[in-house]
């Protein structure tokens, strides 16, 4: 399968600050999650792919076209839903989206027809004659998706698409993203700090950290086989326990709930053997095991491991 997006040793600097450090990566067709902590370089990557930022070094390709050589041709095939609002006050949703269509090169009549279509598609059909500044946050997210879709792009960049949405609106937005990727043949790149959103919409993720690729692959591959992750809660010197696990090449990291997620590498030697090993290490560290349970690997684990969180 041909990659939709390719980066070949891309470096981007702002003044003396390096935001992307020789990044090489390929985004396959379908829906890809772009993950990373704040400042990892996600927006810089998206802006470079759109041709808004010129890399100091390296090459970027979208649909096989060089971004430096064909920026307009590429932009005509990309829809971009930015994180921040960019509405024009005093315009109705339908005139705003039609205007965005014209800016993408659509003739007026086509732009207007498409504006009605996409506003219906994103669930704003009834509100389409209202001024955008009267919209709720959730509605503003939807209109941003509508303007990104107006010219029928082959690739969509969605930056934090569910920001500020209530749970129902968020579910509806995620269903739209899934529908676009799975049934409408649109390639989608979702940048989000909400890992469940990415897990619901994407098959593949690319994790950036400090301007480098920290992990890339299908979510299933990166999670690894089930049965190798354990939830552990101990009483006593947790740091000593973690140090012993680490010395035994067993990775672990904290969760918000005071539970350690412990990853045992290699093939299981036999039923219960890993639990026994964890209990033995706890005894050696002088801590009491209060809770020990096998768990399923999650995208949170993939993310935490990729960026080396403990
Ligand atoms: P992310 O989208 O993952 O939060 P960004 O791409 O926005 O990360 O930023 C990557 C790094 O580049 C950060 O350290 C950020 O502070 C820096 N950066 C981003 N934009 C600029 C800018 N316009 N000028 C200087 N530094 C910037």
How far apart, in whole angstroms, are the C-alpha atoms of residue 172 and residue 33?
18
Ligand 1, closest atom to CA 40? 3
Ranking 69-78, 137-146, 201-210, 226-235 by mean pLDDT, the lowest is 226-235
The domain limits of the chain are 5-221, 223-308
Evaluate whether 5-221 and 223-308 have a shared fold. no
How far apart, in whole angstroms, are the C-alpha atoms of residue 72 and residue 68?
10
| Cα 40 to middle of ligand 1, angstroms | 8
**Which tokens sit at 211?**
């301007």
Query: Which tops the pLDDT comparison, 275 or 154?
Result: 154
Give, using CA atoms, the residue closest to atom 27 of ligand 1. Answer: 14
Averaged pLDDT for residues 80-101 = 92
The CATH number of domain 223-308, selected from 3.30.70.100, 3.40.50.10170, 3.30.2270.10, 2.40.50.140: 3.30.70.100
How confident is the model at residue 268, as a pLDDT? Answer: 66
How confident is the model at residue 310, as a pLDDT? Answer: 39
How far apart, in whole angstroms, are the C-alpha atoms of residue 143 and residue 145?
5
Ranking 23-37, 125-139, 261-275, 291-305 by mean pLDDT, the lowest is 261-275
pLDDT value at 2 more than 50: yes
Ligand 1, closest atom to CA 211? 10
How confident is the model at residue 231, as a pLDDT? Answer: 93
How confident is the model at residue 227, as a pLDDT? Answer: 63
pLDDT band, residue 309 (cuts 50/70/90): low
How confident is the model at residue 226, as a pLDDT? Answer: 66
How confident is the model at residue 225, as a pLDDT? Answer: 72
Best CA proximity match to 3, nearest among 46, 39, 33, 32: 32
| Cα 221 to middle of ligand 1, angstroms | 29
Give, using CA atoms, the residue closest to atom 16 of ligand 1. Answer: 39
Ranking 44-48, 53-57, 305-309 by mean pLDDT, the lowest is 305-309
How far apart, in whole angstroms, are the C-alpha atoms of residue 49 and residue 262?
37
How far apart, in whole angstroms, are the C-alpha atoms of residue 138 and residue 124?
11
C-alpha 191: how far from chain center: 3
How far apart, in whole angstroms, are the C-alpha atoms of residue 263 and residue 304?
12
Query: SS3 string of the chain?
Result: CCCCEEEEEEEEEECCEEEEEEEEEEECCCEEEEECCCCCCHHHHHHHHCCCCCCCEEEEEECCEECCCCHHHHHCCEEEECCCCCCCCCCEHHHHHHHHHHHCCCCHHHHHHHHHHHHHHCCCCCCCCCEHHHCCHHHHHHHHHHHHHCCCCCEEEEECCCCCCCHHHHHHHHHHHHHHHHHCCCEEEEECCCHHHHHHHCCEEEEEECCEEEEEEEHHHHHCCCCCEEEEEEECCHHHHHHHHHHCCCEEEECCCCCEEEECCCCCCCCCHHHHHHHHHHHHHCCEEEEEEEECCCHHHHHHHHCCCC
To the nearest 10°, report the CA torsion of 142, 144, 147, 149: -70
| Cα 177 to middle of ligand 1, angstroms | 26
Ligand 1 pocket test, pick from 12, 19, 214 with the greatest ligand atom count within 8 Å of Cβ, gives 19
208 with 35: CB under 8 angstroms? yes
How far apart, in whole angstroms, are the C-alpha atoms of residue 81 and residue 78?
10
Give, using CA atoms, the residue closest to atom 25 of ligand 1. Answer: 14
246-253: list long-range contacts, CB under 8 Å, 24+ apart. 248/277, 248/281, 250/277, 250/278, 250/281, 251/305, 252/310, 253/301, 253/304, 253/305, 253/309, 253/310
Task: State the burial class of residue 273 (Cβ atoms within 10 Å of its Cβ: 0-12, 13-18, 19+).
Answer: exposed
Ligand 1, closest atom to CA 15? 25
How far apart, in whole angstroms, are the C-alpha atoms of residue 204 and residue 30?
8
Query: Which tops the pLDDT comparison, 227 or 288?
Result: 288
Query: Which tops the pLDDT comparison, 296 or 10?
Result: 10
The predicted-structure confidence for 170-204, as pLDDT tens digits, reads as follows: 999 999 999 999 999 999 999 988 999 999 999 99
How confident is the model at residue 308, as a pLDDT? Answer: 76
How confident is the model at residue 193, as a pLDDT? Answer: 87
Averaged pLDDT for residues 120-140 = 94
pTM for the full predicted model: 0.87
| Cα 192 to middle of ligand 1, angstroms | 15
pLDDT value at 298 more than 90: no
Give, using CA atoms, the residue closest to atom 5 of ligand 1. Answer: 41
Fold of 5-221: Rossmann fold (3.40.50)
Place of tokens 């919409």: 201
């Amino acid at each position: 399968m041909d990659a939709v997006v390719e980066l070949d040793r891309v470096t981007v600097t702002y003044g003396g600050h390096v935001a992307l450090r020789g990044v090489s990566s390929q985004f396959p067709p379908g829906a890809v999650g772009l993950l990373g902590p704040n400042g990892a370089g996600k927006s810089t990557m998206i802006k470079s792919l759109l041709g808004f930022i010129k890399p100091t070094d390296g090459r970027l390709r979208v649909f096989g076209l060089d971004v430096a050589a064909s920026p307009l041709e590429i932009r005509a095939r990309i829809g971009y839903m930015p994180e921040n609002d960019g509405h024009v006050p005093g315009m109705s949703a339908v005139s705003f989206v039609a205007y965005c269509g014209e800016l993408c090169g659509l003739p007026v009549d086509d732009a207007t027809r498409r504006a009605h279509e996409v506003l219906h598609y994103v669930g704003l059909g009834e509100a389409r004659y209202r001024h955008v500044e009267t919209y709720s946050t959730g509605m503003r997210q939807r209109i941003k998706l509508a303007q990104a879709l107006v010219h029928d792009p082959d690739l969509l960049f969605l930056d934090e698409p569910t920001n500020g949405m209530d749970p129902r609106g968020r579910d509806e937005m995620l269903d739209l993203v899934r529908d676009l990727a799975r049934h409408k043949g649109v390639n989608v790149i979702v940048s989000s700090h909400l890992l469940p959103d990415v897990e619901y919409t994407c098959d593949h993720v690319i994790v950036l950290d400090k301007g480098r690729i920290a992990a890339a692959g299908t979510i299933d591959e990166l999670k690894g086989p089930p049965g190798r992750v354990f939830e552990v809660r101990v009483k006593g010197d947790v740091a000593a326990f973690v140090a012993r696990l680490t010395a035994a090449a067993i990775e672990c990291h904290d969760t918000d709930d005071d539970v350690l997620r412990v990853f045992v590498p290699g093939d299981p030697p036999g039923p219960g053997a890993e639990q026994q090993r964890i209990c033995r290490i706890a005894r050696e560290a002088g801590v009491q095991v209060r809770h020990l349970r096998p768990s399923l690997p999650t995208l949170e684990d993939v993310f935490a491991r990729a960026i080396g969180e403990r």
